[in-house]
Amino acid sequence: MHEFLPAKQILHRRHIERIAACEVCGAERETIRHVLLECTMAKVFWEHTKKLAGVKLPHPHQDTWARDLLLAKVCSRREAAVIMCGMWALWMARNRRRHGERPIPVQQAVFWARDTAFDLWQILHSKNGNQPARDVLRWKPPEIDWMKCNVDGAYYPVDGSDAIGLVLRDHRGAFAGTRARWQNHSLDALSMEAQAAKEGIEFALEKGARNLILATDCQELVKLWELGVCQRSLISPILADIQQRSRSSDGFVLLFEGRLCNRVAHQCTKLVSSSSLVEEWPCPPPELHDLLAADCKNFVIP
Ligand SMILES: [Zn+2]
């Protein structure tokens, strides 16, 4: 609506792009509307959406299409949710193509849009959907005999890369290991947060944790986890994997902790890049010293 997405025609008007034409179909102007509704690529996508997700794109009005869709004036809100997720997938696919990356098959993109819309719908309409989880302002160690693994994922939508960071500590707040991993191809932020959680439990079990608190700053992930078998989501396979792994521990909890509690894990994601894919530290790297100390300032060691 505000022409925020940098389609070529918009960049051309601002004298950033030399030509405004669409690189896929050769149309004279690549507008946002063109990418999302009119391009050959978009047409194939919406045909598949009708077949695979049962959602038909309503006939869009030339000028008010974005607003009509956002306010669900031309279809139901559920359909509008799928269509908007589809549009996001189309825009991401367009960016991947421009960056010379491997294209995502249309069918996979349609399923992604359908499942993401479904996940978001479940989260927003669950019983506790409108009450944000209580945010704690300070990191707290787990009880005696428990370990806590904070996990985080940083997702960079522009090039689809992401980094995962995790840090394991015991009931005294003592450091028990950290790992970070860089990934060049990732589809979305939620999948990546789920992946971080999976690697967190894997890492903690490797380090001998018997009772584990896995802490994430992604509320959506915790809500989908709590829905258990009732949910059908894009990240179901990853959640099932976490469930499977948790059976080999004596105690396991996945919970939400706000960003202020998750600063060490977040900092870990910055320790890797496309040139250093996986790093693991048995002793805290210097970049984490201050944050680790700050987390331990706020409680008395039992
Ligand atoms: Zn086109």
Query: DSSP string covering the chain, please?
Result: ----S--HHHHHHTTSSS----TTT--S---HHIIIIISHHHHHHHHHHHHHH--PPP---TTTHHHHHHTTSSS-HHHHHHHHHHHHHHHHHHHHHHTTPPPPPHHHHHHHHHHHHHHHHHHHHSTTTTSPPPPPSS-----TTEEEEEEEEEEETTTTEEEEEEEEE-TT--EEEEEEEEES----HHHHHHHHHHHHHHHHHHTT-SEEEEEES-HHHHHHHHHGGG---TTHHHHHHHHHHHTTSSEEEEEE--GGG-HHHHHHGGG-BTTB-EEEESS--GGGHHHHHHHHTTS---
Please give the distance, rounded to the nearest whole angstrom, from the Cα atom of residue 90 to the centre of ligand 1: 12
pLDDT confidence of residue 208: 94
The pLDDT assigned to 129 comes to 45
Per-residue pLDDT of the chain (302 residues; tens, 9 = 90+): 888 899 999 999 999 999 999 999 999 999 999 999 999 999 999 999 998 888 899 887 888 888 888 887 788 888 899 999 999 999 999 998 888 888 888 888 888 888 888 878 777 776 554 455 555 578 889 999 999 999 998 887 667 778 999 999 999 999 999 999 988 777 678 888 999 999 999 999 999 999 999 999 998 899 888 887 666 677 888 999 999 999 999 999 999 998 888 999 999 998 887 777 888 998 999 999 999 998 888 666 65
Ligand 1 centroid to residue 96 C-alpha, Å: 15
What is the 109 CA–ligand 1 centroid distance (Å)? 18
The per-residue pLDDT for 233 is 73
pTM above 0.85, yes or no: no
Cα–ligand 1 centroid distance for 20 (angstroms): 11
Ligand 1 centre and the CA of 35: distance in Å? Answer: 6
Quote the crossing angle between the two packed helices 40-53 and 106-125, to the nearest 10°.
60
Rounded to the nearest angstrom, the distance between the alpha carbon of 34 and the centre of ligand 1 is: 6
User: Residue 234 Cα, ligand 1 centroid: separation in angstroms?
Assistant: 29
CA of 42 to the centre of ligand 1 (A): 8
Long-range contact list for 240-249, CB < 8 A, 24+ apart? 241/198, 242/194, 242/197, 242/198, 242/201, 242/214, 245/198, 245/201, 245/202, 245/205, 246/201, 246/212, 248/205, 249/201, 249/205, 249/209, 249/210, 249/211, 249/212
> Can you read off the two tokens belonging to residue 177?
């290991």
Please check whether residue 272 is in contact with residue 182, taking contact to mean a CB–CB distance below 8 angstroms: yes
Q: Domains, the chain, ranges and CATH?
A: 8-125 (no CATH), 146-296 (3.30.420.10)
Give 29's contacts (C-beta < 8 A, 6+ positions apart). 8, 9, 12, 20, 21, 22
**Distance between Cα 296 and ligand 1 center (Å):** 55
CA of residue 44 to ligand 1 center, whole Å: 12
Ligand 1 centroid to Cα of residue 25, in Å, is 4
Ligand 1 centroid–CA 28 distance in Å is 9
Tell me the C-alpha distance between 255 and 133, whole Å.
Answer: 10
CA 201 to ligand 1 centroid distance, Å? 44
pLDDT tens digits for range 232-257: 677 888 999 999 999 999 999 999 99
Cβ-proximal residues to 49 (8 Å cutoff; 6+ apart), any chain: 55, 56, 57, 82, 83, 86, 110, 113, 114
Quote the tokens at residue 241. Answer: 């994997």
Report CA(197)–ligand 1 centroid distance (Å).
39
pLDDT value at residue 301:
60
Give the per-residue pLDDT at 127. Answer: 59
Q: What are phi and psi of 150, to 5 degrees?
A: -90, 130
pLDDT attached to residue 298: 66
